[in-house]
Amino acid sequence: MPESSERGALTEAVFYILLSLYSAMHGYGIMQNVKELSGGRVDLGPGTLYGALNTLLQKDWIKSVKSERDSRKKEYLITDLGKEMVKSEIKRLEELIANGKRITGGVLS
Amino acid sequence: MKHIVRKPYWDYMKEEAWLNEMSARGMALTDYSWCRYVFTDAEPGEYVYRIELLEHVPTHPESMAYIRFLEENGVECVATYMRWIYLRKKTAEGPFDIYSDIDSKINHYRRVNAFWNVLMYLEFGAALINIAVVVFYILFPPESIYYYPAHTHVVRSSDFPTVNAICAGILIVIGLMFVRLGRPIRRMIRKLKKEKTIRE
């Protein structure tokens, strides 16, 4: 069970890294994927990505897997615990969005 | 063609800006050792350069894993010096910032600040030893040893420790320089911390 202190907001970088790793990817793939997902808005620095990957590995939110195509390149994959974290983050974000829309009347109006 | 430029830089941010200016003029850094930059001809603006301070020396397994990770991601490590690494990436592959979020930026600045602090303490520590020698001379001038019994063989130079005094002066100046080098970094850390209270 995750500790209650882990219920805080995920960083944008971590959220998108976790989403990317629903299928196995190596570092460069993650950077490209995050950029694509966010329409070019989130451009992960390699140092930031490296630090985040190591922390996520330590927390068991992701695991490293052997790459089928290139054995020298390390690939990463999200774990069940990681998926749980993404889901609870989505719940949190939905709350933010619902409240934001309700009070401001939505961004389109 | 290779060009060698000898130039001292203390501030890595100014150094990085200079390397990018050189790159814009078609001179791409390919090697560095103390105050010696080796440039090779390249297309003007072909590369973006970044300088980073690692947590460990480049030969440490963790640093090696990190550098390998960078190279897999299109970032080339052209030179290492102490814990500093000189990185470059092709401009065509998009913007190049090693750190893209506030936390990791703060971390890096803290590392740089600690690096200068260690050097500052070393300089001030060495200055203190030299000052102690001078103070000791003033408090206990050599004449006072004339009263020692002959068999104690106290050997002391009777000259004023000029060398120590000069060393102390120089060391203090260098120490103060390290204090100054850390100042913009500490300012950045404060600014980023403030920013962090309202956004990621």
Per-residue pLDDT reduced to its tens digit, B52-95: 999 999 999 999 999 999 998 889 999 999 999 999 999 998 88
Q: Do B112 and B192 share a domain, yes or no?
A: yes
Residue-wise pLDDT tens digits, B90-134: 999 888 999 999 999 999 999 999 999 999 999 999 999 999 999
Q: Closest Cα partner for B40 from B28, B25, B48?
A: B28
Query: Which residue is it, tokens 């068999």?
Result: B151
B105 and A52 Cβ atoms separated by less than 8 Å: no
Q: Do B69 and B107 share a domain, yes or no?
A: no
* Segment A32-42 mean pLDDT: 93
**Interface A-B: count of C-beta contacts within 8 A:** 49
Q: Closest Cα partner for A53 from A43, A40, A63?
A: A63
pLDDT at A99: 95
Single out the residue in B72, B93, B114 at which a domain terminates: B93
CB contact under 8 A, A48 and B104: yes
Q: Closest Cα partner for A14 from B145, B84, A6?
A: A6
- How many domains, in total, are found in chain B? 2
Within the 13-72 window of chain A, which residues sit less than 8 Å (CB to CB) from chain B?
A: 13, 26-28, 31, 42-51
Q: Whole-angstrom Cα distance, residue B186 to residue A31? A: 30
Q: What ipTM did this prediction achieve?
A: 0.81
Q: Do B89 and B106 share a domain, yes or no?
A: no
Which structural domain range is residue B60 located in? 2-93
Residue-wise pLDDT tens digits, B4-44: 999 999 899 999 999 999 999 999 999 999 999 999 999 99
Q: Do B120 and B141 share a domain, yes or no?
A: yes
In angstroms, how far apart are the furthest CA atoms of chain A?
52
**Residues in chain B within 8 Å Cβ distance of A38:** none
Helix (H) or strand (E) holding B171: helix B162-196
CATH of A11-104, one of 1.10.10.60, 3.40.50.620, 1.10.10.10, 3.30.1330.120: 1.10.10.10
Q: Answer whether residue A102 shows pLDDT above 90.
A: yes
Of the residues B54, B87, B99, B195, the best mutation for testing chain A's interface (the one with the most A CB atoms within 10 Å of its CB) is: B99
Q: Do B119 and B41 share a domain, yes or no?
A: no
**Residues in chain B within 8 Å Cβ distance of A26:** 72
Structural domain boundaries in chain A: 11-104
With CA atoms as reference, the chain A residue closest to B95 would be: A43
CB contact under 8 A, B94 and A28: no
CB contact under 8 A, A50 and B66: yes
pTM of the model: 0.84
Helix (H) or strand (E) holding B88: strand B84-90
Select from A12, A26, A48 the Cβ nearest to the Cβ of B72: A26
Shortest distance between the Cα of A89 and any Cα of chain B, in A, equals 15
